[in-house]
Structure 1
């Protein structure tokens, strides 16, 4: 039994602790302490972003940390309340209940349970490929749109203005009209905390700038009696501990949550996969994305049972654990323990925290998730994909946010389909004085054999491009002079063949045979393509002995044996 097999067998739960050694404990504790210092203000701010009281954010962090440590695989990943998904589910829930009401919280709990179940099922059925549904341009546009939502939602608190109602663009217009009515103290606190967090991040990600800013802002409120000057504070935070419970909702209300749950689950899958691949437990082994879906799903289920909302992997917090010496999920569990102790014994310390300070933390989060560098690079290198960024961001900003996310996913899929349909036939030339056949290029000299055409398709052969493939092959045969007697399909780029494409390929081989053109296959390397050839009977239709390991081998074997076309 190999070491990896032994690990999987011996550690069905808490697998991330399998490699723990006593010498790892100091590093884990330091990383956990740093993580708690980062997470406490962040979880409070994210809960506020979703319309919940601060302790609900703490419940989400405790549940996410415990659930992932139990069933996840990554040693560093931090799971908890996350500003990427919070605006999405908050927007969806606001259509069903008044934000902050008991009904709103019950729906959030139910949503967490549904998201958790979807992630667990996705893990069991090994659906890690779903994480690839969002292309990079769509992901960048998605984050830009989410960033605008966060900025717009937090600016009223930072400016000391009432929160405007209506669509995002209407909110922006309303804020612009009332800028002159801003509360100066609130404004200084909000942007002061933003400056502290940004400055600390620039110096070192290990500095808990958000906690420092929160403490300084709270001290200023207390010493300057700023509550009497219009500065809103968090108020009394109940020192309650999470207790398991289930929401009381009618079945039809659960059903209404399912589409939103699927959207949230897809976003969690994408972000969890990106996080675990960026911070692998073992750089020499591929990340176990499916196992980490299980951990994130367990975190959301526990969050629902604890009375909180869905949780997600956090790339910044995970990076903190990795950079500060964390070695196992003990760091996350230690941070969760600190947060639990704060709830039990220190909740009263939070009542004078100004809401503008939490807004300042979220302003930093919003600005950080805008990937300006990537946007500029994509604009310079692929203007068409830059338009995907713009379209995705616009959909998320203009439409109800959950609809915008759905549009973003649809745009990503359509872009993938469009890219596949663009795959056209490529003709190959022989590199002079070699046996190498290479795609024809005006900048590289090449040679062709008389009466032989070598072509290839650098994409899966599917219903999306099979008709164009057949048309292109026939065009090459009919327009080449002299007419080729041997057609070699260089198949190294064909990774898969579906039923529709197989039928078209069968007809094409038969048609070529009737026209006196022998068809041969070279470099059919993909095992899936080989299985498709056998499954669809393509091997049986090809002339005997027409499968080769190289183009040169095919030409040497067949070029002299083919008969001139009649």
Structure 2
């Protein structure tokens, strides 16, 4: 029924899903596209305001990038526009280069940023760097998104209250917000809080209903019927009707914008591939990382020429797309078509939308980025990863989003380095009556030990960073045991680096002088060949290197020993 998954070589035929398209998929695709549009369009408008851009930029972002991805992408349900994370990252980047400039300068800066994001994604795809997304661990990403949610909510609360103040650091903004509460507009607060309640009720009672569209429609209706602007409720104002005009990137801003563009590109790809994988059905091809880089990159480049902000796959709209029955990318064509209709005919209505309504939409959906259950799940398993998640959260809140994303990457790399530098080392015993060796545990006191024999196992890559640490752990396991033979199980070691091998050779010589023999067992072919080519291989010979632990133990038991009586 579906096209089989192919190698991720970036050479699969575009629109390959079209060859297998079935007529009975058309209705669910249309329904899904219309429903997703009801979620995508209001949120895209709201996220444009989060980025500090004119509201129509949200429509532009929900149009061409989605069409381009539908043609080039490998995920059937993925809905590509923008997200809360990308919006706040874009806001920080654009604020640095367009501060004090007019709307024309801001739009040119936005086009430049989006073009750079697209170019970076395309380059990464051509270089086959799809694996890079895996460098951000789930706990770090959990913390990063929670921090982004805090920043977004704090940014939107003044609009919800109808107050204004100069933005600054996190603590400055919190203090200014508290001081501004007495000056809040009652009508603005009432409409904003009412919108939040409406969204929450709809999401809980009718989860498949287009809650953002209903909330936005109610806000526009309230403004039209009750003249809320006369009571201090600020509206969006004029929104241009018609197609977006061609926007030329400002090349003079490339030097300033490329560093944040790298971070935005990374988050765009990370969110896109995570959403695509999460909602792929078992009968569908798995999203191909390098093709996804190319597809989202070209979607951003095309969108930049029409003035869109950085785009990527969004979890919420992709979930809606899938849950209401989307089978293929036809649903995205439908969503883009409705967005086009909105640009051509509904722009005047959008201009009546109160800012507090948009702020309410942003707050409700941004809060979902904070997932206490995920923090609890991480803490229940390992305190270390929970600490990384908190560092990412605090880093984003206190340092800002761009520095925060850099911190999350550094934390992820440090986490990876920590794991490589501190591999596990176990003492093993044999399960009675079997050839199964397992770590020493109070749960299995009956496991067999062998006097004078210490069996240990390490795992992963053994190299210059962790070799000394592994040696320390092995020595600690031998304290008080006075073994005559130490067997190291290498079955879990996939690589042995030169420096580590040299240290192992020196360790073998030292313990041999102390009357202890070193044996190796379970070496894979590559590691075995490395050892054989070294002085250690000549020292050990075939007599002290074994196919597995069971052979090593049997050889040990067959050795004549002075304390054994035949």
TM-score by length of 2: 0.90
Helix, strand or coil at the partner of 1:480: coil
Q: CA deviation at 1:40?
A: 1.0
Cross-structure match for 2:454: 453
Deviations 1:29-62 (CA, angstroms, capped at 9, x unpaired): 0000001011110000001110111221111121
Cross-structure match for 1:422: 422
Cross-structure match for 2:87: 86
Q: CA deviation at 1:457?
A: 1.2
Q: Matched residues in 2 for 1:158 and 1:474: separation? A: 63
Q: Which 10-residue stretch deviates more, 278-287 or 421-430? A: 278-287
Cross-structure match for 1:317: 317
Q: Matched residues in 1 for 2:527 and 2:243: separation? A: 56
Retained in 1: the 8 A contact 2:62–2:82? yes
Q: Matched residues in 2 for 1:533 and 1:236: separation? A: 74
Cross-structure match for 1:554: 552
TM-score by length of 1: 0.90
Cross-structure match for 1:237: 239
Q: Which runs of 5+ in 2 are unaligned?
A: none
Q: Matched residues in 1 for 2:536 and 2:352: separation? A: 74
Q: Matched residues in 2 for 1:326 and 1:41: separation? A: 20
Helix, strand or coil at the partner of 1:46: helix
Q: Matched residues in 1 for 2:337 and 2:404: separation? A: 37
1:223-372 matched pairs, under 5 angstroms: 223-250=225-252, 253-282=253-282, 286-372=286-372
Q: CA deviation at 1:295?
A: 1.9
Helix, strand or coil at the partner of 1:494: strand
Does 2:471 align with 1:470? Answer: yes
Cross-structure match for 2:111: 109
Q: CA deviation at 1:473?
A: 3.3
Q: CA deviation at 1:128?
A: 2.8
Retained in 2: the 8 A contact 1:130–1:269? no
Retained in 2: the 8 A contact 1:15–1:72? no
Q: CA deviation at 1:531?
A: 7.9
Q: CA deviation at 1:199?
A: 1.8
Q: CA deviation at 1:381?
A: 4.5
Helix, strand or coil at the partner of 1:447: coil
Cross-structure match for 2:399: 399
Q: Which 10-residue stretch deviates more, 454-463 or 497-506? A: 497-506
Q: Matched residues in 2 for 1:35 and 1:389: separation? A: 31
Q: Matched residues in 2 for 1:528 and 1:295: separation? A: 38
Distance 1:161 1:7, change over 3 A: closer
Distance 1:151 1:456, change over 3 A: same
Distance 1:458 1:107, change over 3 A: same
Helix, strand or coil at the partner of 1:491: strand
Deviations 1:337-373 (CA, angstroms, capped at 9, x unpaired): 1101111222222111111111110011121111011
Helix, strand or coil at the partner of 1:427: strand
Q: CA deviation at 1:412?
A: 2.3
Cross-structure match for 1:491: 490
Q: Which 10-residue stretch deviates more, 224-233 or 424-433? A: 424-433
Cross-structure match for 1:57: 58
Q: Matched residues in 1 for 2:172 and 2:311: separation? A: 29
Q: Matched residues in 2 for 1:534 and 1:271: separation? A: 46
Cross-structure match for 2:217: 215
Q: CA deviation at 1:114?
A: 1.6
Deviations 1:370-392 (CA, angstroms, capped at 9, x unpaired): 10112233345444433333322
Q: CA deviation at 1:164?
A: 3.3
Q: Matched residues in 1 for 2:369 and 2:534: separation? A: 47
Helix, strand or coil at the partner of 1:178: helix
RMSD over aligned Cα, in angstroms? 2.9
Q: Which 10-residue stretch deviates more, 67-76 or 10-19? A: 10-19
Q: Matched residues in 1 for 2:259 and 2:477: separation? A: 48
Deviations 1:178-227 (CA, angstroms, capped at 9, x unpaired): 21211122112212222222222223432111100111111111010111
Retained in 2: the 8 A contact 1:196–1:210? no
Helix, strand or coil at the partner of 1:438: strand
Deviations 1:65-113 (CA, angstroms, capped at 9, x unpaired): 1222122101011111111121122112212222763323222212212
Retained in 1: the 8 A contact 2:14–2:71? yes
Retained in 2: the 8 A contact 1:89–1:402? no
Helix, strand or coil at the partner of 1:503: helix
Cross-structure match for 1:142: 144
2:180 to 165, 178, 181: 178
Q: Matched residues in 1 for 2:401 and 2:21: separation? A: 42
Helix, strand or coil at the partner of 1:457: strand
Cross-structure match for 1:375: 375
Retained in 1: the 8 A contact 2:163–2:183? yes
Q: Which 10-residue stretch deviates more, 371-380 or 434-443? A: 371-380
Q: CA deviation at 1:539?
A: 6.0
Q: Matched residues in 2 for 1:257 and 1:429: separation? A: 58
Helix, strand or coil at the partner of 1:493: strand
Retained in 1: the 8 A contact 2:53–2:106? no
Distance 1:116 1:26, change over 3 A: same
Q: Which 10-residue stretch deviates more, 172-181 or 469-478? A: 469-478
Q: Matched residues in 1 for 2:119 and 2:156: separation? A: 31
1:432-447 matched pairs, under 5 angstroms: 432-445=432-445, 446-447=447-448
Q: Matched residues in 2 for 1:419 and 1:212: separation? A: 49
Deviations 1:481-516 (CA, angstroms, capped at 9, x unpaired): 3x323x322223324444443433344455556666
Retained in 2: the 8 A contact 1:246–1:305? yes
Kindly tell me the number of residue pairs found equivalent between the two proteins: 559
Q: Which 10-residue stretch deviates more, 472-481 or 454-463? A: 472-481
Q: Which 10-residue stretch deviates more, 31-40 or 461-470? A: 461-470
Retained in 1: the 8 A contact 2:461–2:495? yes
Q: Matched residues in 1 for 2:535 and 2:262: separation? A: 39
Retained in 2: the 8 A contact 1:427–1:456? yes
Q: Matched residues in 2 for 1:518 and 1:212: separation? A: 76
